[in-house]
Structure formats: structure tokens, C-alpha cells
């Protein structure tokens, strides 16, 4: 690829990213993040996610031993009001003022009772248990007639706005498709119609041949730094066959996914020897009752750190006003992630 400024096309979203490899060495006098080096306790009596503790509104968590799922006490989406059946507000549509009501549900999934164990620190069976919990919760939400899409995601670390260090994730299920899914559905649908093959499987073939952005590959999943990555150490985990949802995965695929999640998150923590912040989420096909042969289940990891545990990439100025821009090439980022120990730095 180029070592001079160039732009790359994201075939999945139809957007461009500007790559400026020569800028990686510029001096940094900007914001330095605080690192959270304090050791967390196994149990925190003040944490609203720990077993047995009180949450907002006076509810008490059960003494859970595996994962724990509950309705978000501060949900951003609300289900239909049973007392107002048929009385939902109508869409507002004048040419320049368009608004439609959105229905939905928000749930929280705690990974384990342990306040201090993040994904890479869990054993593979415990990560499988988290994936199985996401799968069941997604399928449960997708089965509701007012739900058409389920977003599973984890915000990890204060740098990503995570409000509680107890390892947890969220599901937001809603009645209409969010922007990212609308873009990816259009690209994958158009590609299947033209090439009679899913876009992401043809993309994976290219990455498997080239190897330079590939991080980990098992029988059922691959992890790679996408050709069109925006965040410095962005990673995508992609299934090896057409799969519309987590519920399409076989038990062997769930085990394979758990193993590759452990590899990716361990590499992240080992990069700067810090609990690596990120936003991670699965992209499943719309839960609209239609077949989705164009779709290949995948997860995106968007981590903000750039050059150290304390210097992050900001999406400001040009990124807000023009287009995303990155300072290190995806190939250089993949080289660095591949070179790391497979053993978590806290367990060495």
C-alpha cells in the first residue's frame, strides 16, 4: 500500500477514510489520559452491578454466579405502553422536518459476579457463557413484534464513557434500523445481488491471501485490522460463513468466537500493558423476520488509544467536519498487535 497520504474506501459502509502515515511521528503536547492503575476488588459494596447490591429504585441484584441480565434502570428506549394501545404518536413528516416514534428495550449483561475480571481475564468457558447470554437475550428481544434490530455492545474503560468498571455490556433493541446497519445492509445487499456471494466472505478471502492485516484465524472466525480501519487499533472479528445473527452459531462456533475474543482482548491489554478501553459491538442482520443471505455476523472493536496508555486519538476538527483520518496504517497496527505475547500481562 502507499506510504504517502491516500484515502481508502470502506466497502461495508460506503464511506472513505484519509490515511496519513507520515504523521505518526509528530510531537504530542495534547491531552494525556489518566491510567487507572488501582487494583479493583473482587467485590465492591458500592457497585450497583455486584451480586446482592442495591440498584437505582431500590431493586436488589440476586446473588448471581454466572452472567446476570436485567432491564436497564435508565433505558434510552421504551416499549409500547400497554395502557395506550393504538395510541402511539404519529410520524411528523414535512419535507424538512421528519421525526418518527421509536420503540425499544435496553438490557444490561454483567459478564460475571467478579467486579475485577474483564473479558481477556476470563477463562474461555466463561467467555462462551457471556456469548450464549448475548445470544439468548438477542433472540428474546428479536422475537418481540415491535423489535426489528438488536445491538449488543460493550463500552470498556472511562476513556469510552463507561460509567461503572464492573465488566458488563448492553443490548439496545429497537423498532427501526440504526444508521450503521442501514449502510451495511445496503452495501451487502447490493454486493450479493451483483456477485452472488456475500461481501464479507469475498473480503475475508482477500485478507486470508494477503495476511498483512490478519491477526488471528481459527476454523470458524478471523480477526483482522480492516483495510478501511478508522481507529488506530481497530479490529473486526468475522464469521467464516453467512450468519444473520448470534443465534445462527453452532456450539463449535461459539467456542471458536470465545477463543478469538480472548486473543483480541489479550493483545489489546498487552499493547500498552493497561486495561485497553474500547467500544465493541456485534452487527447482526435486521430482526425483521426476513432471510438475510447477504449478511455475515461480525463484531467491531473501536479502541481510542493511539501511541501509549495515555495518548488517545481524537475524532475532532477535520474528522468532525470532513472525514475520518488516521496516522498509522492498518498494516502497521496489525504488525504491532501480531507481535505481542498471547499471555495476558497480568498473568505472566
When the beta carbons of 283 and 312 are compared against Zn ion, the nearer one is: 283
Instruction: Fill in the per-residue mask, 194 to 233: x = in contact with Zn ion (CB under 5 A), - = not in contact.
Output: ----------------------------------------
Taking 3-state DSSP, the helix, strand and coil percentages for the chain, each rounded to the nearest 5, stand at 30, 20, 50
Name residues contacting Zn ion, limited to 86-115 (CB under 5 A): 115
Name residues contacting Zn ion, limited to 289-308 (CB under 5 A): none
When the beta carbons of 213 and 283 are compared against Zn ion, the nearer one is: 283
Say which residues have a Cβ less than 8 Å from residue 180's Cβ, sequence separation at least 6: 13, 283
Place of cell 488501582: 38
Q: How many CB atoms lie within 10 A of CB 329?
A: 22
> At how many degrees (to 10) do helices 179-195 and 199-210 cross?
80
Name residues contacting Zn ion, limited to 131-170 (CB under 5 A): 166
DSSP 8-state symbol, 126:
H
Name residues contacting Zn ion, limited to 25-44 (CB under 5 A): 44
Name residues contacting Zn ion, limited to 42-81 (CB under 5 A): 44, 47, 49-50
Q: Of the ranges 168-176, 178-186, 225-233, 318-326, which one interacts with Zn ion (CB under 5 A)?
A: 178-186
When the beta carbons of 32 and 59 are compared against Zn ion, the nearer one is: 59
When the beta carbons of 184 and 207 are compared against Zn ion, the nearer one is: 184
**How does strand 325-326 pair with strand 15-19?**
parallel
Could you list the beta-strand ranges (E) of the chain. 6-10, 15-19, 68-71, 92-94, 97-99, 104-110, 149-156, 168-174, 214-217, 221-224, 235-239, 278-283, 298-302, 325-326
- C-alpha span between 89 and 242 (Å, rounded): 38
| 168 flagged as catalytic | yes
- C-alpha span between 241 and 313 (Å, rounded): 33
Annotated catalytic residue within 115, 166, 168, 283: 168
When the beta carbons of 21 and 277 are compared against Zn ion, the nearer one is: 277
Q: Give min distance, CB of 246 to Zn ion, in A.
A: 14
Q: Give min distance, CB of 96 to Zn ion, in A.
A: 30
Which positions touch Zn ion (CB under 5 A)? 44, 47, 49-50, 115, 166, 184, 283
Active site residues: 168
Amino acid at each position: 500500500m502507499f506510504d504517502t497520504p491516500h484515502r481508502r474506501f470502506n466497502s461495508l459502509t460506503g464511506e472513505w477514510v484519509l490515511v496519513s502515515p507520515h504523521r505518526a511521528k509528530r510531537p504530542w503536547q495534547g491531552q494525556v489520559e489518566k491510567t487507572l492503575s488501582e487494583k479493583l476488588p473482587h467485590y465492591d459494596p458500592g457497585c450497583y452491578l455486584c451480586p446482592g447490591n442495591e440498584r437505582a429504585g431500590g431493586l436488589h441484584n440476586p446473588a448471581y454466579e454466572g452472567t446476570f441480565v436485567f432491564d436497564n434502570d435508565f433505558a434510552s428506549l421504551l416499549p409500547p405502553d400497554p395502557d395506550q394501545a393504538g395510541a402511539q404518536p404519529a410520524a411528523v413528516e414535512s419535507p424538512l422536518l421528519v421525526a418518527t416514534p421509536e420503540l425499544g428495550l435496553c438490557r444490561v449483561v454483567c459478564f460475571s459476579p467478579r467486579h475485577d475480571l474483564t473479558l481477556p481475564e476470563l477463562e474461555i468457558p466463561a467467555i462462551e457463557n457471556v456469548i450464549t447470554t448475548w445470544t439468548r437475550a438477542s433472540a428474546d428481544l428479536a422475537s418481540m413484534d415491535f423489535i426489528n434490530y438488536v445491538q449488543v455492545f460493550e463500552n470498556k474503560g472511562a476513556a469510552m464513557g463507561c460509567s461503572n468498571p464492573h465488566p458488563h455490556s448492553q443490548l439496545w433493541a429497537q423498532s427501526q434500523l440504526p444508521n450503521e446497519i442501514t449502510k451495511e445492509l445496503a452495501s451487502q445487499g447490493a454486493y450479493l445481488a451483483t456477485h452472488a456471494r456475500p461481501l464479507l466472505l469475498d473480503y475475508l478471502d482477500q485478507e486470508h491471501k494477503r495476511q498483512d492485516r490478519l491477526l488471528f484465524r481459527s476454523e470458524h472466525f478471523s480477526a483482522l485490522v480492516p483495510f478501511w480501519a478508522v481507529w488506530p487499533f481497530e479490529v473486526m472479528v468475522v464469521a467464516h460463513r453467512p450468519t444473520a445473527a448470534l443465534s445462527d452459531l453452532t456450539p463449535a462456533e461459539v467456542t471458536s468466537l470465545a477463543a478469538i475474543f480472548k486473543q483480541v482482548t489479550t493483545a489489546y491489554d498487552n499493547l500498552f500493558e493497561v486495561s485497553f478501553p474500547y467500544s465493541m459491538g456485534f452487527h447482526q442482520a435486521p430482526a425483521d423476520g426476513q432471510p438475510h443471505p447477504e449478511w455475515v455476523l461480525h463484531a467491531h472493536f473501536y479502541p481510542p488509544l493511539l501511541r501509549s496508555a495515555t495518548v488517545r486519538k481524537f475524532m475532532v476538527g477535520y474528522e468532525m467536519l470532513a472525514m475520518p483520518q488516521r496516522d498509522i496504517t492498518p498494516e502497521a497496527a496489525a504488525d504491532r498487535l501480531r507481535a505481542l505475547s498471547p499471555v495476558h500481562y497480568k498473568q505472566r
